[in-house]
Amino acid sequence: MNETMQIANSLVMWILAIIIVSTVIIQSFIFYRLAKNHVKNTSLLSNEEVKKSFKIGIIGTIGPAFAVFAVAIALISRIGGPITFARIGIIGSAAFEIISAQIGSGGTAGTAEFMPKMLSAAAWVMTLGGAGWLVVVFFATKRIDGIQEKMKKANPLTIAYMSVFAPFIIFFTLGYKEVINKGILQENSSIAPMAALIAGGLATVAINKIVEKDRSKKWLKEWSMGFSVIAAMIVGSILS
């Protein structure tokens, strides 16, 4: 395993990982410029709305990033820092990457049996497994845009309802699966997943109540997702 981890954390691996993540950062700036020019040419949004959207986007990534960071620490101990940095920098699902690494390495990642060829296999499985997101985005984005335009023409409120309920349904489904598969259905059942889900929900409700009573604390609402994720992580960690 020592030889494998030396390869996994070598300078060459770090250089390759930095190149991969740098490519993603450059793409982000390109997309930002394209979006900015589109808004400028079409007057779709005001400058204030653009700034607000940008701010909400940044804030909305901070909370989930804490959860990804916590899981990434465990991934680093299994396959090293460079591959973890590259994979999380592209996909962002540390939990999925841990599963892929374990499958690719035949369950040897992080153990004494973890050989260099297993590291290579794990990296390939992680890359190919995560490629599904990229392929779907490439082929489906344009079609989704067309569907959205048709839905707007049929009923403008449909998009508004979807933007409100879709995130709720997605997060509820993910949370429900965690509670069922990792809590209630375990032989030694744990209340940690359920408690974490409840804590996150209560944190969001509490923040909304505070903002309703005092509008000067409106900034709390922008950070509600981050605070909710942190609250859920703390409660889940304590009860695990």
Question: 11 and 95 in one domain?
Answer: yes
Q: What are the backbone dihedrals phi and psi of residue 138, each rounded to the nearest 5 degrees, phi first?
A: -65, -45
Question: 21 and 87 in one domain?
Answer: yes
pTM, two decimals, is 0.66
Question: 6 and 84 in one domain?
Answer: yes
Question: 121 and 3 in one domain?
Answer: yes
Question: 17 and 110 in one domain?
Answer: yes
CB 122 within 8 A of CB 109: yes
CA distance 182 to 191: 9
Nearest to 92, CA basis, from 151, 154, 28: 28
Q: What is the residue range of 48's domain?
A: 1-126
Structural domain total, the chain:
2
Question: 212 and 166 in one domain?
Answer: yes
CA distance 217 to 102: 45
Question: 45 and 108 in one domain?
Answer: yes
Residue type, 189: S
Widest CA span of the chain, in angstroms?
61
Q: Over its length of 240 residues, how does the chain's per-residue pLDDT go in tens digits?
A: 688 888 889 999 999 999 988 988 898 889 888 888 888 887 777 777 777 777 777 777 776 677 677 778 888 888 888 988 888 877 767 778 888 888 888 888 888 888 989 989 998 998 888 787 778 777 877 777 777 777 777 777 777 677 777 777 877 777 777 777 665 555 566 778 888 888 888 888 898 888 888 878 777 777 777 788 888 888 888 887
Question: 115 and 21 in one domain?
Answer: yes
